[in-house]
Structure 1
């Protein structure tokens, strides 16, 4: 098996970037999800509620962040000295506000009042202790440092989606692209679809990871990133083939054992 691609998302729920190589930090890939968007009450806002956020492209040049989008000119972001506490899941975390200019820019895109927040210290947020060690940390991803998917699993899922459509008398849809699932790393050459369900530890290049748990999927996977509209797939078909514990599943979460560097084409070994 090999590492087919890597992706990072500077601002949670905005467009991702594919890179040929990346530093792996304890909390995730370098530059991944250190920023997020909140409403005026400090509640996290994602593309689940505001799909147009996916049209925002956040670019990093070193530590400097610039926002680009279809509604306004590019905006360099300058964090302030103001901090506030935001709750992610059940965990309160202190974040730095990124100022009124960024708030106005993103509010214009979202069509509601929102603000941009920055995790200035990525060692601040622990992972769920049920699935990690007390020392494990995560940026502003949903729960774990990296998300792994495989091309074999996506191919099988797309076959199932076509079967579901034809059984219902619908036109066979185009295959879903992998970016719908917002992975950190995509693996090619798995022996079987969903083989990753049974992995406990893996090595990518020279970096070793624990597989903490499977990834339950939400409505965000149903958003067409060309039109920013929601459809039925893949949730409809995952509910038929990949549903247990009241959730649907695609991909697995990873926690790195130590920092390192990985690159496209690196070998992948099950440990």
Structure 2
């Protein structure tokens, strides 16, 4: 009834079409933090796949669509639950160095865009301590989250402050899971062993849940666990885990 502000959610392709539950959890968590959340309907793919394939023309088209759609001046923040999307939005201004008006708009979008865990931490986290039900969690750092965005402590603090969560660090927590966008499809002979090492490190912790902040890593690690018959170990986005531990959400 008395929102602290208004946030736009950038869902990207994966949250919009595959992991809708993650997007729902992001909205719930930010609602619990006191903010209204809207999803601008004219948004498109973040453009990262085109960028990484060298298709600058279509990457720029996606950037232009999203800069207009996210309308930075209408929101206090823009949130994404995919570090690759977050990084892409923050770099949009690079496409418009020779277009002053678009550069200004893209810069505004970039400055207001944060990944979920970073933003929730900035907003003070969640007031409820959690349900207190014991669960052992280990955390996997995605490459974009830690290396491109420099976010690694905020999500851990959010988890540690949640009553009932026991956070156990795995060996090589910030080593790649082998996904890398299309890398795992193009080079399975290289991605496979990287994934197997990650799965073994997860198993060694005895954790019931692997927390991640990247939908791509979620897809990869879930597949690796399933392939070894380890369906008992769940993979959840940090947003999902935080909301699940607070049933009143």
With the length of structure 2 as denominator, give the TM-score of the two structures: 0.27
Q: Highest relative contact order (Cα 8 Å, sep 6+), 1 or 2?
A: 1
The answer to which structure has the higher helix fraction is 2
With the length of structure 1 as denominator, give the TM-score of the two structures: 0.25
The answer to which structure has the higher strand fraction is 1
